Structure 1
């Protein structure tokens, strides 16, 4: 492909549910659903991965016009307009969904999360969003200090700081709950909310060594189980979606809300990551001592396209409610 990956077998595998046939993605149908509407992807780089897959597929029938970009070299905030349907598609970088201060070279070496308020970089635009697709998870694994009601609640992996270690599972739950409750409070049933569940990584070795994610075929049925952290992260997200959907947990407004459950189908695709081909032609001068690998994000085209196949079906179901 464009970065020099020599094997192409990963392009030809397709996930299908057991009891029904998942239709092919129809870009015209998707754009018709969003005529005069705005769909926004909000979250971490997995949200961006899903967004870029969608824009690529939609561009096969309608040329996208990039009408806004911001956020430095990474273009973390972007919006495209599809003039054929007056449809808008956006990406908002927000790796915690709640307000957060990210670690930096010139600042603290940990993240700071404010668990009782959302990130207003996307929150301020809620009134202009018709469908919001949320995605978080991987950034909660990093060192962080957590705050709630102006007080430190605890931390995750913070040696040298006088804070209680509380891990990240309950924190993820709080972040998702705050996000869903706030969206409901501000928009009620005037917005469709979809949460893409945790997407597993497939590191089999050090991230900077050759062969970190070497597989070229999916796992066979029963070869890989959904367990451990992957299962726990998914469980929290699915539970919070169901709680918010039923108006539980302090949220008395029912919202049009679904979980886009991609965890297990993604777990089965260790072959779908860029691996060492995250940058073009990494072995043009031979295999070096260090090779940076991406075993988290997904090749395009690749397994992430299936997420958007399912997304279209979820949107159709929500619109019928």
Structure 2
């Protein structure tokens, strides 16, 4: 249109004379052209046509994001506490880091046994502290499947036993196992586990069947003792050869054979229960006889043993706290007192009439419920430990109490006992006449290695906690 306009009004001699109306029309066309050029220069085109303009916009957006981050950081710095003064440095260093916060305690009392191909840390010949009656491998037990199971708690993991970790904790310390033959069984298990890394040396023995023993790990200046006390309190044990069929248990008196030694002990593991199932008469100071169990031949009324067991455990923990709760252990930490809960037996039939435990694998979870006696014995220990822990936490006690709750896991292991292999070659010589013969079985104690090693896996986690 602009070209036609110039051709129509061609200027001769380089002069142009336009009427007023025509000049206004020309000016209008010129303004339209200028506006179009302005649009092209200042409004962004699509990315394919105007990449330079898009890059410029992206750079502006990135700058805005950086600016926003700077603003957020500045706001967070305003909310953060001021840095500590030089004098506060020690307090700051004592605060735990976020990654060092301990997880909630694992409940090891409920779970299941699962297959585990890892071999045990020791065997029937590599450890010299196994009591003869629990050395199932050396006595010729033919099956080995009972060795290849591990306890898997629900909702958490139980780490495999670490001899190195236990020995590090035990350095310059004294650990004592106090109680009956199951306490000894657990103690010997620990000695064998630790001996896989460091040799244990017998430093002291005394009493029938070496019921009082002390072992040292000289490389670590560490001590493990075994102290016999089948009721924890004072007792006159039965002696059927002398015509004494009943145990006489004195609930109001401490057993000084071990209690007097506890002041030099940094950690104690107590374990009793099975001796309360035997015939017994219970005394309580000036009150005289307060109960008896399996005592019809004494012309006394049967009271059962649950009350006596409860009194013995509660009074023992109270006496421990009274005598040894004021001071700390060798390293300045609180002393540890753990009580192992009741470990069920697995006799199929009467124990003294060729009752046996012939199972070759664990029960599945919930396959065998706890009996009333086992459940009551476990509950008594858990409640007594909880009461002692509450009392210790409320005062200035230097003791830490824990229940080593193994009743459920032990209940599911009928395959872990010596059975007839409490002695070497039990069916040899024709006396027993093969596997079906009437041979005495041990379905109370545990083969070593065997399920009892799991007791010490849990013990390690408790003491490290």
Q: TM-score range by the shorter chain?
A: over 0.9
Alpha-carbon distance, 1:207 to partner:
2.8
Matched, 1:257 2:394: no
Q: Is residue 421 of structure 2 the alignment partner of residue 284 of structure 1?
A: no
Q: How far did residue 164 of structure 1 move?
A: 3.4
Structure with larger RCO (C-alpha < 8 A, sep 6+): 1
List structure 1 runs of 4+ shifted beyond 4 angstroms. 208-211, 251-254
Q: Within 5 Å, give how 1:30-179 maps onto structure 2.
A: 30-72=166-208, 74-104=209-239, 105-150=241-286, 151-179=288-316
Is it true that 1:274 corresponds to 2:410 in the alignment? no
> Larger Cα Rg: Structure 1 or Structure 2?
2
Q: Deviations over 1:188-224 (max 9, x none)?
A: 1532100000000000123355561100000012211
Distance 1:68 1:207 in 2: 33
- Give the one of 339, 351, 363 matched to 1:195: 339
Matched-pair contact (CA < 8 Å) for 2:340–2:405: yes
| Equivalent-residue separation in structure 1 for 2:448 and 2:374 (angstroms) | 23
Choose which of 434, 446, 450 in structure 2 pairs with 1:298.
446
Structure 1's 253 and 233: CA in aligned 2 closer, same or farther, altered over 3 A?
farther
Q: CA deviation at 1:247?
A: 1.4
State how far apart, in whole Å, the 1-side matches of 2:371 and 2:305 are. Answer: 17
Which residue does 1:225 correspond to in 2? 369
Task: Output the CA distance in 2 between the equivalents of 1:279 and 1:141.
Answer: 24
Q: Does the residue aligned with 1:33 lie in a helix, a strand or coil?
A: helix
More moved, 156-165 vs 261-270 = 156-165
Q: CA RMSD in A?
A: 1.6
The 3-state SS of whatever aligns with 2:314 is helix
2:159 to 2, 23, 27: 23
Mean Cα displacement is larger for which, 251-260 or 98-107?
251-260
Describe the SS at the equivalent of 1:175: helix
Displacement of 1:252 after TM fit?
Answer: 6.3
Gaps of 5+ in 2: 1-136, 329-334
Note if contact 1:184-1:253 (Cα within 8 Å) is conserved in structure 2: no
Give the Cα–Cα distance (whole angstroms) in 1 for the partners of residues 420 and 452 of structure 2.
18
Residues 186-195 or 33-42, more deviating: 186-195
**Aligned-partner Cα distance in 2 for 1:98–1:69:** 21
Cα distance between partner residues in 1 of 2:395 and 2:297: 41
- 5+ residue gaps, structure 1, are none
Q: Following TM superposition, by how much is the alpha carbon of 1:155 offset from its aligned partner in structure 2, in angstroms?
A: 1.0
Deviations 1:256-312 (A, max 9, x none): 100000000000000000000000110122434531100000000100000000000
Does the CA contact (< 8 Å) of 2:355 and 2:440 recur in 1?
A: no
Distance of 1:310 and 1:275 partners within structure 2: 25
